[in-house]
Amino acid sequence: RREQARLKASVVEEDTEEWQKDPHFTGLERVGGVDLSYVKGDESRACASLVVLSYPALEVLYQDCRMVAVSAPYVAGFLAFREVPVLVEAVQRLQQEEPHLQPQVLLVDGNGLLHHRGFGTACHLGVLTDLPCIGVAKNLLQVDGLVRDELHREQVRSLQRSGETFPLTGTSGKILGMVSCHLAIYNSSSKPLYISVGHRVSLGTAVRLVRACCRFRIPEPIRQVRHPRLVGQ
């Protein structure tokens, strides 16, 4: 818990790059995605995957998937300590082997500030790699009074009709993330995404970029990192 608090102090919740401030993300050329996929029936072995896509074409420029041993135990609220070290190694391999393909931002299959103590996997990875990171989750993490109750479900239904976004405001009054759905891509039965700041990006920019990277429900950097050709499924 002390280490988590120490790292959290380094999180930057605002845009730090010029391309982030441009309405069309001019200057953004490479977007990365990371994920850890566990072997079915064996929580000690997983495939640590990293992909880098061109932007705005969203074509795969680099991909790396390696089987790794995961030795740290799972503790609720501290998942990043179990998973981030091998993801950092994947980023470091890329930096050493193909430095010209280093992503300018990473999309993480998980949460950032939307976390029990405001420091999810996207924050942890961002601080350790010093790369802009965005958390993209498929399910709502119920923290700070956020619940998947009837009001939330009605907001999601309205979102599916409008294709817009709405903020996730905790009982503390802090906006922890945004719920997003895009009618140009999704049909009315689609599930939303829960987007949160990881590091070195504002929430507004995070939402715009995730939506710009979507061809289907899941943004391409995360969809491609879970592609069967990478995880062997």
pLDDT of residue 137: 94
Mean pLDDT on 72-101? 85
Encode pLDDT of 179-193 as tens digits. 987 654 444 446 889
Note whether residue 199 is domain-resident. yes
Report if residue 105 sits inside a domain. Answer: yes
Note whether residue 232 is domain-resident: no
At residue 88, the pLDDT reads: 94
In a domain, 233, yes or no: no
- pLDDT confidence of residue 13: 96
| 208 in a structural domain | yes
pLDDT bucket at 230, cuts 50 / 70 / 90: very low
For the chain, the domain total comes to 1
| Predicted local distance difference test score (pLDDT) of residue 182 | 65
Distance of CA 230 to the CA centre of its chain: 18
Tell which wins on pLDDT, 231 or 69.
69
Query: Which pLDDT tens digit goes with each residue over 39-59?
Result: 677 777 888 899 999 999 999
Q: Look up the domain containing 132 and give its range.
A: 1-227
Residue 79 is part of a domain; what is its CATH number? 3.30.2170.10
